[in-house]
Amino acid sequence: MEAVSPALGAALRPSAGHDAWRDRSTVLSGASMANSGAKRALITGITGQDGSYLMDLLLEKGYEVHGIVRHSSSFNRSRIEHAYANPKLFEKQLFLHYGDMLDGVALTRLVERVAPHEVYNLAAQSHVQVSFALPEYTTQVDAVGGLRLLEALRETGVSARYYQASTSELYGKVQAVPQNEKTPFYPRSPYAVAKLYAYWLAINYREAYGMYTVNGILFNHESPRRGENFVTRKITLGAAKIKLGLLDTLLLGNLDAKRDWGYAPEYVEGMWRSLQQAAPSDYVLATGETHTVREFATLAFDTLGIKLEWRGEGANESGYDSATGERRLGIDPVFHRPTEVDLLLGDPTFAKQQLGWIPRTKFQELCRMMALADFELLGKESRTKRAF
C-alpha cells in the first residue's frame, strides 16, 4: 500500500459528531486501481456547485473519483457531505486530497500518484466582481492554475483527457448574437481575461503535444447549490428572507443585464459527454434563451407569494410589494461592475449535434426550484434557532 503524504493531500473522515473531523492521509492501492476496471477522475473545485454535481454523476457511473480540496481553518464541504459522510463511498470510491491551484509541485505529484483517466479543471475564483478587487489572485488561480495542471499531465506522461471549465464571460462585449464556438471573444473583467488564457492554453496543448483537451464554454448555470454571492442565489435567498420576515429590502446591481440561465446538473452531464468523444473539441453549453435579472427577481418573489410592482427608472428603480406597498427590492451602485456585460445568449447547436446534449430545465422551473429550496432552507434554520 502506498500512502499519499500529508503535503500532497489528506482526506477528511467523518466521525461521531457533526464537527468532529480529523485529517487523515488518503491511502491508494496502485494494484487495486489498476485492476478495478473503474475509470479514475480527478476533479479540481469538487466542493463547488459544478464539482459536487459532477462528483454525483461520476460516482453514479461507477467512477473512482478523486477531488482536490484546499486546506482551510474552516470546512466548506456542505455540497459533498452526502458523499464523503457515506462509509460505502468515502475512501472506497471517493477520495479527497489537499491541494491548491497555486502549488504546481503538489499538483504534479498528485497527478502522478492518482494517474487519472479524466481530469476536470473546475477550480476558480469565479466571482466576476471580486476579480476586479483581486485581479492578481484571480489570474494565478484561473489562468496560471490551468497551466500548472496541464504541465503536471505533460511532465508525468499521464495520458488523461482534460476538461477546462471555460465561461460565457469570454464574450463580454458581445460581437454577435447569439454566441457560439466561432464568435470572437471580448472579455470585460479580470476573471474573463484569466479564463481566456486558460482557454487558449488548452487548445495550444492539444495542438502542440497531441493532448486530449476540451474547453466547455458554459453559459450561466444555476441550482440550489449555487454560491450565495451569485446574483441568482442572492435573489432567491433575499426573497425567502423577506417572506420569513428576516429582511426588509434586497439590494442588487444591474437589473437590465440579460443572461442565458440553465440548470447546473444538466451542464455537468455535458462536461462528461465532451470527454467521451473520439476527438477533442470545444463546446458551448447554453439554453438559447436570455432573461433579465429583473425577470428572475420578479419570478422568484412571485413564487413565494410576493408580487413585485416596479416603479422608477435607472438607479431609482425599485420593486414594491403590490399588496402592502412596502419597498422590497432596490438598486445599489456598489454592485455595478466597472465594465458591464449587458447580454449573453448562447447557441448550443454544436453540442446538441455532437454530444446529444439537450438542456431540459426551463427558466421558470429553475427559478421556482431555487426560490422554494431557499425558503425551505431558511425556514428549517429559523425553526432550529427557535427550538434552542
CA distance readout (Å), 313 to 50, 283, 320, 338: 36, 38, 13, 20
Rounded Cα gap, residues 81 and 160, in angstroms: 27
Rounded Cα gap, residues 110 and 211, in angstroms: 19
Rounded Cα gap, residues 366 and 291, in angstroms: 12
Of 53, 120, 171, 191, which residue is the catalytic one? 191
Does 169 qualify as catalytic in the annotation? yes
- The CA-to-CA distance between both ends of the chain, in Å, stands at 47
Q: Which three cell numbers stand for residue 312?
A: 422608477
Q: What are phi and psi of 370, to 5 degrees?
A: -70, -40
Does 209 qualify as catalytic in the annotation? no
Rounded Cα gap, residues 92 and 377, in angstroms: 31
Q: CB 175: neighbour CB atoms within 10 A?
A: 11
Strands (E), the chain: 2-3, 10-14, 21-25, 27-28, 40-44, 64-69, 94-98, 118-121, 161-167, 213-218, 221-222, 250-252, 258-259, 262-263, 282-285, 291-292, 308-311, 318-321, 327-331
Rounded Cα gap, residues 55 and 48, in angstroms: 10
For residue 200, the one-letter residue type is W
Of 84, 118, 139, 169, which residue is the catalytic one? 169
Look at the block and give the residue holding cell 500518484: 113
CA distance readout (Å), 123 to 42, 48, 211, 311: 11, 8, 20, 40
Of 26, 47, 139, 167, which residue is the catalytic one? 167
Does 191 qualify as catalytic in the annotation? yes
Residues carrying an active site annotation: 167, 169, 191
